[in-house]
Amino acid sequence: MKRLAVLFAGQGAQSLGMGLSAIEETPALMSYFNTIQQHLNFDLKKILNGEVSGLNQTEFTQPSLLATSLLYYRQLQTLLPLNPQYLIGFSLGEYTALHLAGHLDLTSTLHLIQVRANAMAAASRSNPGMMAAIIGLSTSVLESLCVQVSKPKHQVIIANYNCPGQMVISGHELAVKEVMTLATSNGAKRAIPLNVSGAFHSPLMADAGQQLSKVLLSIKFQASQTPMVFNWTGKPLPHLSDLPLYLVQQVQSSVQFENSIRYLSAQQIDTFIEIGPGNVLAGLVKKILPDAKVISYNGQKDLSLVKELLA
């Protein structure tokens, strides 16, 4: 019997029109969409359809992606109920997983993601930096280059451990550019600056972590109904009381995606469905576990793929 994990997309996967097909194909979801809208401080539909610009601004990107993933998941559950053994989200996708796992109610989830998005946007303005993808270099070499270059006010770390030979670095602009140059001279195939607004998942996001920690004090978390694997450690949560710390650290620490997928593989997970716009996570999983069965669900057009995968 197949053992299933569901993955939720992160920032960078956004695209105009995302999520709208779900309410067009499944009109019963409109009330769910309206419930989500009630808890957002901007017009979600206008952002999604491009009537109002801003989808690529962190303040709007994160809540919009969360809403999109929730809509696609709810739609899929109405068409073909899933019973995943694990949930995992990439960066902000972790909040989709938190809600669907049962840790957070919808109101708290939407409140937290807006706090997180606004705090990260503010941190990006007060502590500007950049990110870059490094392709074709070993993890140990890239880690040593980041350590070699980093010093106070000149910091760079590996922000995303995506898959073998594909990582993302993040930090102060000059430090990131220095590591890009060193990475290329040490054998990296490519070093590509990313079009993002800040140095996410690096110490430059510490202010965002502090803002988030204040709000987390007032949030009531529940025990999960479905196990999760967390970005910060690449493993499940040891104790429910650790969850606020995990979410604070997640903002300013590396995303351990490769280790997370390897952990799932060790739990005999052999089937993965990515929920959300695009198929980035599905591609990463295939590079980590070439024999895994993986697809992306971006609306009812992908239903036949899901059925085939789970058959």
SS (H, E, C) 169-232: EEECHHHHHHHHHHHHHCCCCEEEECCCCCCCCCHHHHHHHHHHHHHHCCCCCCCCCCCECCCC
User: pLDDT tens-digit profile of 3-53?
Assistant: 999 999 999 889 999 999 999 999 999 999 999 999 999 999 999 999 998
Residue 201 annotated to the active site: yes
Instruction: Provide the pLDDT for residue 112.
Output: 97
User: Helix 58-79 and helix 106-126: axis angle, to 10°?
Assistant: 150
Helical axes 106-126 vs 206-216, angle rounded to 10°: 150
Instruction: Mention every residue, 6+ apart, whose C-beta is less than 8 A from residue 109.
Output: 66, 95, 96, 98, 99
Would you put residue 68 in left (φ > 0), alpha (ψ -120 to 50) or beta? Answer: alpha
Handedness of CA 48, 110, 244, 4 (dihedral sign): negative
State residue 1's pLDDT score.
65
Among 69, 91, 124, 202, the one annotated catalytic = 91
Our measurement of the distance from residue 47's CA atom to the centroid of its chain's CA atoms, rounded to an integer in Å, reads: 20
Active-site position among 99, 103, 111, 201: 201
Q: What is the mean pLDDT of residues 175-187?
A: 98
For residue 64, indicate whether it is catalytic.
no
Q: Residue 274's pLDDT is what?
A: 97
Set out the domains of the chain in order of their start, with CATH numbers. Answer: 4-125+204-310 (3.40.366.10), 129-197 (3.30.70.250)
User: What average pLDDT does range 179-193 have in this prediction?
Assistant: 97
Tokens of 217: 């004090």
Quick one: average pLDDT of 113-118?
Answer: 97
